[in-house]
Amino acid sequence: MSLANRMALASPLIKAVCVEANEFPQLSNQFRVRGVPHTVINRKASFVGALPERDFVMAVLEGAGVTMDEPHDEVTGPSTEISA
Amino acid sequence: MPADRWGRRLVLTFYMALIPEPVRQQLKDRFETVLTGPVHLTLYTKPGSSRLILPAGLGCPTCEDARQMAELLRDAAPEKITLEVVDVSRDAARVEIDQIDDVPTIAIGSNSETGRVHFQGLPTGTEFPALIDAVERVSRSEHGLRPESVAALAKLTDPTELLVFATPT
Condensed to tens digits (0 to 9), the pLDDT of residues A41-72 reads 999 999 999 999 999 999 999 999 998 766 55
Neighbours of A57 (CB within 10 A): 23
Whole-number pLDDT of residue A79: 76
In a domain, B142, yes or no: yes
Quote the minimal CA–CA distance from B169 to chain A in Å: 9
In a domain, B169, yes or no: no
Question: Is A66 exposed, middle or buried, given 0-12, 13-18 or 19+ CB atoms closer than 10 A?
Answer: middle
Write down the pTM of the prediction: 0.87
CATH of the domain at B66: 3.40.30.10
Q: Give the range of the structural domain holding residue B92, as residue numbers without chain letter.
A: 3-153
Looking at this predicted complex, what is its ipTM?
A: 0.88
* Contact indicator for A31, A44 with CB cutoff of 8 Å: no
Q: What is the DSSP string of A19-51?
A: EETTT-HHHHHHTT--EESEEEETTTEEEES--
Whole-number pLDDT of residue B87: 93
Quote the minimal CA–CA distance from B3 to chain A in Å: 11
- Verify whether the Cβ–Cβ distance A8 to B116 is below 8 Å: yes
Chain A residue whose CA is closest to B53: A23
Question: Across the A/B interface, how many CB contacts are shorter than 8 Å?
Answer: 174
* Nearest alpha carbon to residue B40 among B6, B92, B85, B89: B85
Instruction: Please state the domain extents for chain A.
Output: 2-81
**Closest Cβ–Cβ partner in A8, A13, A39 for B117:** A8
- Verify whether the Cβ–Cβ distance A13 to B160 is below 8 Å: yes
Condensed to tens digits (0 to 9), the pLDDT of residues A12-22 reads 999 999 999 99
Chain A residue whose CA is closest to B102: A24
In a domain, B168, yes or no: no
Whole-number pLDDT of residue B112: 67
Quote the minimal CA–CA distance from B130 to chain A in Å: 6
Q: Is A28 on the interface with B (CB under 8 A)?
A: yes
Query: How far apart are alpha carbons B31 and B77 in whole angstroms?
Result: 6
Q: Domain total for chain B?
A: 1
CATH class belonging to A2-81: alpha beta
In a domain, B140, yes or no: yes
Whole-number pLDDT of residue B12: 43
Neighbours of B60 (CB within 10 A): 24
pLDDT in tens, chain B (169 residues): 566 655 555 554 444 456 688 888 999 999 999 999 999 999 999 876 555 555 555 678 899 999 999 999 999 999 999 999 999 999 999 999 999 999 999 999 997 677 999 999 999 888 999 999 999 999 999 999 999 999 999 999 999 999 999 998 7
Whole-number pLDDT of residue A75: 62
